[in-house]
Amino acid sequence: MPAPPISTPPFRSGRPALPRLLCGVFLALESTLALSMSYLLALLLAARDAGRVPSRPPAGGPEARLRFVVLVPAHDEQGGIQATLESLAMCVYPSDARRTVVIADNCTDGTAACAREAGVEVWERNDPARRGKGFALAWALDRLHTQGDSFDAVVFVDADCAVSPNLLSAIDRRLRSGASAIQVNYLVANPAASHAAALRFCGFALMNTVRFLGKQRLGLSCGLVGTGMAFTKDLLVREPWTATGLVEDAEYHMRLVLAGERTEFVPEASVGSPIPTSLRGSSDQQARWEQGRLQVIRHWSPRLVIAGLARRDPIRVHAGLEWLVPPQSLIAAGSLASALVGMLLRSRRLALLSCSTLLAQLTFVVAGLRLVGAPAHVYRSLLVAPALVARKVALYARLLSGRGPTSWVRTEREEQPTAAVGR
């Protein structure tokens, strides 16, 4: 009998493998974004309970007062430093327990003269080879310690900020309660100036208020934002300021956490800064922040995570991992792209996960703005958020191609009054 013919399977094209691979890649991406939003929602829930935690009584009784040195780093801030110094002068705190020093750093204008006219001490620094706030602060702190002056803590306030009248008293109370590193609330002072300023208010509120409140409630280290910071003299002796990178505040925070320290959030006091009224006006500042963010992730995140795991310390692990959470604009862009790919590839799982992430993001943004009492025009500004998302995606593409900033660049100021921020 003749052998039965051998049947061969029909030829299959390799094309279906590509959609499966693409779907798998986007599922992995979207899972990461969904995990990030789960973390942010957890912080939001914790932030809602932050006010229910009883505060520790300060040591020494209500009459005790710490002696503060307020450092104001300034580079060509002639137009706005007077308003900053006026707001500091209005702080309700004994005049004999505070000292304000302006660091006129590589200035080419009348910053030093304006500060002297305001009646404060001025230290002029000229070192063009080492420019930037990190170098200026390191120089000033070294001078403070060298002089041997008597003080208990140092407060940092940027020269374009106005402070709430309770700034020093709130910091005093928290430091006397046992804290050694402080960050007060950092706000956008001009959210009504434009849609761009309102969007930046939204970003500051979610990052610097809601997330910090949540971390404080959970016993984590809240972080530092460069202005409205305070440190005890003992801490600065133990951990000297050596941060001189693009984001010197984040660098010093990571160094503190690695050393076993923790920063505490003081939401009842605030510093406010006017923001450029156009998205283009803040592009240099955004580029510096995001480039610095990438540097922190590369240099500090692995060290913090490894040290935290070795010591079973959740504060160190959290500080290292938190920098991996993408900005809101990238979460929105990534989830929208994943949703589109899910619909094109008819992947119900990918489309559902992407829509869930976007819904979680909307919940976080709206609930966070309600928590901080954002004005109505901030909600309306969300309608132009796609323009900000597009700019942020383009910025990251530029940074990843190696075309980011390599040194500190001063943010151009707009001519506008700086109003005191009340609390």
Is 310 inside any structural domain? no
Q: Mean pLDDT over all residues of the chain? A: 88
pLDDT digits (tens, 9 = 90+) for 77-102: 998 899 999 999 999 999 999 999 99
* Domain, as residue range, for 258: 68-275
Q: Which tens digits make up the pLDDT trace of 97-109?
A: 999 999 999 999 9
Average pLDDT over residues 238-257: 93
As a whole number of angstroms, the distance between CA 32 and CA 27 comes to: 9
pLDDT (mean) for 225-244: 96
Residue showing tokens 């829509």 = 355
pLDDT over 80 (residue 232): yes
Is 415 part of any domain?
no
The model's pTM: 0.88
In a domain, 319, yes or no: no
Exposure b/e, 53-88, CB count within 10 A at least 16 = b? eeeeebeeeeeebbbbbbbbbbbbbbbbbbbbbebb
Residue pLDDT, tens place only, 316-329: 999 999 999 999 99
Query: Residue 86 sits in a domain of what CATH number?
Result: 3.90.550.10
Determine contact, residues 210/47, Cβ cutoff 8 Å. yes
Count of the separate structural domains present in the chain: 1
3-state secondary structure 19-62: HHHHHHHHHHHHHHHHHHHHHHHHHHHHHHCHHHCCCCCCCCCC
Q: Could you read off the pLDDT of 201-222 as tens digits, one per residue?
A: 999 999 999 999 999 999 999 9
Which residue has tokens 């050694």?
180
**Looking at the domain assignment, is residue 378 inside a domain?**
no
Evaluate whether residue 60 is within a structural domain. no
Between the alpha carbon of residue 285 and those of residues 114, 294, 304, the distances in Å are 25, 14, 26
Q: Is residue 29 part of a domain?
A: no
Which pLDDT band holds residue 11 (cuts at 50, 70, 90)? very low
Q: pLDDT tens digits, residue range 126-150?
A: 999 998 899 999 999 999 998 877 8
Q: Residue 226 has which token pair?
A: 């460069």
CA atoms within 13 A on the CB side of 312: 0
CA distances from 246 to 20, 26, 410 (A): 41, 32, 11
Asked if the structure places residue 296 within a domain, the reply is: no
Within-domain flag for 120: yes
Other C-beta atoms closer than 10 Å to the C-beta of 6 total 5
pLDDT of residue 422: 47
